[in-house]
Chains A and B, each alone.
Chain A
């Protein structure tokens, strides 16, 4: 069975695009083949900075013959229909069609269209150029002379050559020929840019990989990653150090080299006065280097690891020296910023308070716009301070501290350090606050108010941080809802889903009872007044449903049953997220018990009967009170009295937020419900009895509704 080898050799492909491009290449080519009836045994795609490669093993040499039956009109149909059929099936005469009998429809024509399978190389010569022309790069470009004309080939960077060979393992392979804008496919490539720049001729995948390896190119990204990680760990170990692992950086670095060579450099230990996060961010972002730490103390070391793309003839001395120069310059800058941030701010020396207060004053003076309709950062800080103060007693935080933390939480945005390294926002604010004598909770809250930034980020637990984190997110959400800039589909430019999930996690993981409705409508008022906006009347309710949606996603991800969440949410305008979760949990354990399962069955039976009868008598026809004088049978009397007491118990339990109690009370209804359905005919002949029994069932339905809409529970 023949194999396909495809290589698209280009100028340097951005590291972040390589893996996806290789996968896209594989799925586009294999789908196109399968669509044409050509199945294969296996396929794997590869990427380096200069090439995408695809190997498909076990393809047929020829496409299987295709046989298609086209159904035509019935025998004796009008001539127009017959002619249309002949034309569409490609027949010249009706005698070429067969007649098939269908017991229902009678005799009709069928045309059998047979297409002989084509040679797979012929197919590939069509498929591959089309895929290259349509390739889904996130950003692509034109180049060279050809770019003068419309419709010129686009690629991520100039495409230099294409290998496309096809053939069985043991025999000669053939080159599949095609020509895209003058780029002709062939069987040659090049090795490492500096170590092996000459042309290499290849046949099939096996010798291709081996030839590349000899030409100092490791084709497989994962192998390059393994080499880098392994060598990095070894070099660190030899120095008594430990690699600070960084998967994102490793993936990126593997996309920057074809022949990884890990080397160690160092810098003046004096730079270690800079916060380690900043040292790491500098070395990582600008230099794509790994940092190391002392395994005992955990402290950052003054050594770093770089990954070169060459085996330098001096063993890498100059490469190391060059990288050290750059690291030194960058760290000098960082230290300069670090020191500058600890000095009075020119022009703001007279601002009362700490050095961070001076920065805050500058932030306000700059009038940095947060959003055109929502005002400046300064105005936003004022709102966060007010909201944090309001939330402080609810979450158990000291109000003065919450206000102070909210006040300072964005001040580090105008520090030199954050200006240079945006990723350390929050962290720098915390460091400076600590150094300037803020209370530990206040300092921590400055860092943590951004958290959690997604489903796996850390959730703060210190009450001050929780208050400010909630205030920050709620202000964002209410603000954008007030100006009707809600997320739609995949568009969420202000990361509002993440903010709402943050609120959900803060509330639940800190077990907070927070009535969202009051909180939201209050803040809609604040923003509406401050910004002269009249939010939509439904905005607050709409935002609450948005929280419900985020809560659903959160609970579903943690394994809760989707239908139970829907059932609980349908039982009323619930705005206390923690209580919703408690209800879902209680409902889940109720339904795990036999009593619960049977009660649910009884409920469903009652609801079905009611639905059917309400169709006849009208919605709400059985809402009235049960007439105890009309209760005849023991079973109905028993259900009526059980309902009376359970309804009372449930409502008391719900009021006390004791959902397990409410569910336990509901579960006690089971024997009475079962007995009722066993012994009582609901639709009695006598109208009065019928209505009274239906009212009883309606009461059963109401009793459950105060905890959940049982109708939404599946099973």
Chain B
């Protein structure tokens, strides 16, 4: 069984290895946030915890939904639901690049055999009002991770700066396992009848959600949900406001996340015009900013 959880053999082995590695660096190993998000950055363990002065180290897998990237299970590389492995270190340690390379080594990438490169990629999330400088990390010409030094989140300057690592788990696993199609990934590391593939676990979901995202999601309902989430976020921020401290940021932020995902669904349904698009993004950003400001008035936010 130990063979089965080697990162070469199984998708879950890759995840377990990364957990092991980052746990040893003092990260709290969290479970995925229990809401639909577009990327691991949305998890409050990254967005909110990157604000304020308190040190923080966390690592977790985050299922990420990009409704527009659905391909009905027919594209070997694109998914509307996939896993990101997210690491956040605040402040970033001076040897973060070395730590990252050591994590690659842990999952079996030998730097004497592979060409690892840090290629300029400035990260920006308009919906989160966030940006940072860093790289996309290449392994033999393939982007396997994103490496970012957060400079601003929710419109607020990061002081101190956090280092964020995001591993594209499926891509990395495909590389380590040497398969060409994501659905062929060995999930549990077993062979024969006992083998479970990524396709066994997720292909049906990809097909069903693609139908939902592109064809059947109820747009009237979604428009209403967007409005509701926006309204509720503001309401909760108002009710939790206790002057120099704040009592209800996390529930308010959940509504911001909800609005963001509903917007992504509406976008996939093609019912948001180019000009409207910008204004929806701006509305989510305003929520994120308000949550960020409120966060600084909480204990975890360093108040």
Contact = CB atoms under 8 A, between A and B. Distances in A.
Interface of A: 11-12, 14-16, 49, 139, 141-150, 156-158, 160, 194, 256-257, 287-289, 306, 308-310, 312-314, 318-319, 321-323, 325-329, 333, 366-369, 372
Nearest to B93: A144
Contacts of B7: none
- Top 3 A-B residue pairs of the complex, sorted by shortest distance between their CB atoms: A322-B140, A14-B120, A12-B118
B18 to A, nearest CB: 20
Contacts of B151: 141-142
A319 B149 contact: no
B119 A144 contact: no
A462 to B, nearest CB: 33
Contact of A147 (B91, B114, B119, B122): B91
Contacts of A16: 120
Given A11-B97, A148-B91, A322-B139, A142 B161 contact: yes
A16 B121 CA distance: 12
B92 A323 contact: no
Contact of B115 (A12, A160, A312, A325): A312
Interface in B151-210: 151, 158-161, 163, 175, 180
Given A143-B92, A312-B115, A369-B275, 8 more contacts: A12-B135, A142-B159, A143-B163, A144-B93, A257-B117, A309-B116, A326-B140, A367-B274
Contact of B114 (A150, A289, A318, A368): A318
A20 to B, nearest CB: 14
Given A14-B120, A287-B141, A143 B273 contact: no
A323 B141 contact: yes
A194 B113 CA distance: 10
Contact of B113 (A144, A312, A367): A312
Among B91, B175, B180: residue with most chain A CB under 10 A: B91
Interface residues of B, number: 39
Nearest to B111: A194
Nearest to A307: B115
Contact of B94 (A142, A144, A289, A323): A144
Contact of B142 (A49, A141, A310, A326): A326
Interface of B: 53, 76-77, 91-94, 97, 111-120, 122, 132-135, 139-142, 149, 151, 158-161, 163, 175, 180, 273-275
Nearest to A49: B118
A367 B277 CA distance: 13
A319 B120 CA distance: 20
Contacts of A141: 132-133, 149, 151, 161
Contacts of A145: 91, 160
B113 A318 contact: yes
B210 to A, nearest CB: 14
27 contacts: A11-B118, A14-B120, A15-B119, A141-B133, A142-B160, A144-B91, A144-B92, A144-B93, A145-B91, A145-B160, A146-B160, A147-B160, A148-B53, A287-B141, A308-B115, A312-B113, A318-B140, A322-B114, A322-B140, A322-B141, A323-B141, A323-B142, A325-B140, A325-B175, A328-B180, A329-B77, A372-B275
A436 B219 CA distance: 37
Contacts of A289: 141
Contacts of B115: 308-310, 312, 319, 322
A325 B118 contact: no
A139 B114 contact: no
Contacts of B175: 322, 325
A183 to B, nearest CB: 10
Contacts of B142: 322-323, 325-326
A147 to B, nearest CB: 4
Contacts of A322: 114-115, 139-142, 175
Given A313-B112, A322-B142, A322-B175, A139 B122 contact: yes
Contacts of B111: 194, 310
A157 B133 contact: yes
A559 B133 CA distance: 45
A416 to B, nearest CB: 13
Contacts of A158: 92, 94, 149
A392 B118 CA distance: 52
A423 to B, nearest CB: 19
A325 B180 contact: yes
Contacts of A257: 117
A221 B107 CA distance: 34
A409 B154 CA distance: 41
B273 A367 contact: yes
A124 B51 CA distance: 38
B74 to A, nearest CB: 10
Given A141-B151, A256-B119, A312 B112 contact: yes
A326 B141 contact: yes
B54 to A, nearest CB: 11
Contacts of B76: 329
Contacts of A160: 94
B230 to A, nearest CB: 24
A310 B110 CA distance: 12
Contact of B161 (A147, A287, A308, A368): A147
Nearest to A322: B140
A288 B141 CA distance: 8
A369 B141 contact: no
B117 A309 contact: yes
B274 A369 contact: yes
Given A157-B133, A366-B274, A143 B113 contact: no
Nearest to A150: B159
Contacts of B149: 141-143, 157-158
A141 B161 CA distance: 9
A46 B163 CA distance: 29
A287 B141 CA distance: 6
A145 B96 CA distance: 13
A157 B96 CA distance: 12
A160 B94 CA distance: 8
Among B133, B139, B158: residue with most chain A CB under 10 A: B133
A486 B118 CA distance: 40
Among A12, A314, A328, A368: residue with most chain B CB under 10 A: A12
Given A142-B161, A147-B160, A369-B275, A194 B112 contact: yes
Contacts of B134: 157
A248 B253 CA distance: 45
A148 B160 contact: yes
B159 A147 contact: yes
Nearest to B163: A143
Given A12-B118, A310-B115, A313-B113, A143 B275 contact: no
A147 B91 CA distance: 8
A11 B119 CA distance: 11
Contacts of A321: 140
